[in-house]
């Protein structure tokens, strides 16, 4: 028995350090008109969830309790045939705030160009070196994006390696039949432009904001309220530098889609002198939500 105890402890230790990065809850909203039975959508849900949660996306060691809480909701608008589907993908992730039960949103993005093939009783295979199919590439893209942005919130530009993997996925998919991967597609709200922007110097204030706002702001609110609040404010105000060069950029829209409610709820009870600058900045950069930001000062 004494020999089994250290062996068991070693197994537990190995299990913890080799845990996967994601704890993703996947939901499928089936189309109104279904060609096949509803069972395929439940199978699809389980298969995608296993693909995301049972794979290691980095070389780093993670404990089970450190896994990133995230969601993927696939709304299937059309079942083209028994194996082909089209619709949209809503991706969200959050991370815990130190000394708090609160989880702060990191990513919230709606990909409206999601076409894929799925066959029951088959596994999803993905290789970083090639584009096998659209389902695996899109899922891998967002899995790495979730990890990258989580890393950025804990360390300055900590997610660079994962962003570069996202770039590789985009590069591999340039000849794919499906949309969302190329620079010359209509508009710039796709995977290509999101990752192209985020790794560019112009958009570095977003990455710096993710780090300063969370690691030196929210994580320290419990112990250093005044200093942490000023850090959060300064990090947000730096986003104006992006707006001057790339107003209404996709990346900024995604940032405020995730953070706008939190910003309103955090700044609303503060004195006017501590929130006016953020209020004015949010109205300038995210004009679609002016009504929401009015709650900060009213």
Number of C-beta neighbours around residue 138 at 10 A: 26
What's the rounded Cα separation, in Å, for the pair 153 and 221?
Answer: 15
Could you tell me the pTM of the whole model?
0.93
Place of tokens 């000394």: 99
Tokens of 106: 């990191």
- Using DSSP, state whether 280 is helix, strand or coil: helix
What tokens does 58 get? 């980095």
The residue behind tokens 């560019």 is 200
pLDDT at 36: 86
**pLDDT at res. 198:** 97
pLDDT in tens, 82-127: 999 999 999 999 999 999 999 999 999 999 999 999 999 899 999 9
The pLDDT-based confidence of 11 (bands split at 50, 70, 90) is very low
Per the DSSP assignment, residues forming a β-bridge with 114 are 87
**Angstrom distance (rounded) from CA 145 to CA 163:** 6
For the chain, the maximum distance between any two Cα atoms, rounded to a whole number of angstroms, is 68
Confidence of residue 8 (pLDDT cuts 50, 70, 90): very low
What is the DSSP secondary structure assignment for residue 102, as one 8-state letter? -
Compute the average pLDDT of residues 172-176. 97
Cβ atoms within 10 Å of 226's Cβ, excluding its own: 9
Going by pLDDT thresholds of 50, 70 and 90, the confidence category of residue 150 is: very high
Task: Name which of 142, 162, 151, 156 is nearest 254 in CA terms.
Answer: 142
Helix (H, G, I), strand (E, B) or coil at 128: coil
Q: What is the rounded average pLDDT for all residues in the chain?
A: 93
State how far the alpha carbon of 183 is from the alpha carbons of 100, 109, 188, in Å.
41, 19, 7
192 — pLDDT class (breaks 50, 70, 90):
very high
**Position 5 pLDDT exceeds 70:** no
Measure Cα distances from 23 to 149, 237, 253 in Å: 15, 32, 25
| Run of H or E residues at 78 | strand 68-79
Predicted confidence (pLDDT) at residue 186 exceeds the cutoff of 70? yes
Read off the pLDDT of each residue in 143-158 and give the average, rounded to a whole number: 98
């Amino acid at each position: 028995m004494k020999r089994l105890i250290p062996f068991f402890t070693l197994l537990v230790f190995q299990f913890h350090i080799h845990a996967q990065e994601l704890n993703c809850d996947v939901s499928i909203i089936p189309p109104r008109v279904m060609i096949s039975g509803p069972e395929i959508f439940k199978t699809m849900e389980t298969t995608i969830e296993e693909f995301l949660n049972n794979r290691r996306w980095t070389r780093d060691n993670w404990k089970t309790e450190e896994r990133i809480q995230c969601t993927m909701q696939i709304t299937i608008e059309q079942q083209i045939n028994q194996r082909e589907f089209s619709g949209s993908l809503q991706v969200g992730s959050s991370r815990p705030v130190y000394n708090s039960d609160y989880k702060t949103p990191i990513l919230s993005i709606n990909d409206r160009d999601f076409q894929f093939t799925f066959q029951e009783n088959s596994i999803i295979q993905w290789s970083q070196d090639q584009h096998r199919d659209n389902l695996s590439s899109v899922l891998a893209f967002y899995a790495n994006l979730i990890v990258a942005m989580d890393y950025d919130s804990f360390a300055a530009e900590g997610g660079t390696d994962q962003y570069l993997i996202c770039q590789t996925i985009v590069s591999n998919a340039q000849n794919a039949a499906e949309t969302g991967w190329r620079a010359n597609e209509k508009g710039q709200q796709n995977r290509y432009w999101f990752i192209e922007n985020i790794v560019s110097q112009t958009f570095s204030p977003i990455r710096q904001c993710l780090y300063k706002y969370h690691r030196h702001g929210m994580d320290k609110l419990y112990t250093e309220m005044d200093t942490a609040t000023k850090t959060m404010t300064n990090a947000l105000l730096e986003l104006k530098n992006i707006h001057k060069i790339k107003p209404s950029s996709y990346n900024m829209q995604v940032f405020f889609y995730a953070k706008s409610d939190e910003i309103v709820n955090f700044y609303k009870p503060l004195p006017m002198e501590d929130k006016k600058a953020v209020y004015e900045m949010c109205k300038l950069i995210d004009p679609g939500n002016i009504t929401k930001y009015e709650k900060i000062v009213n």
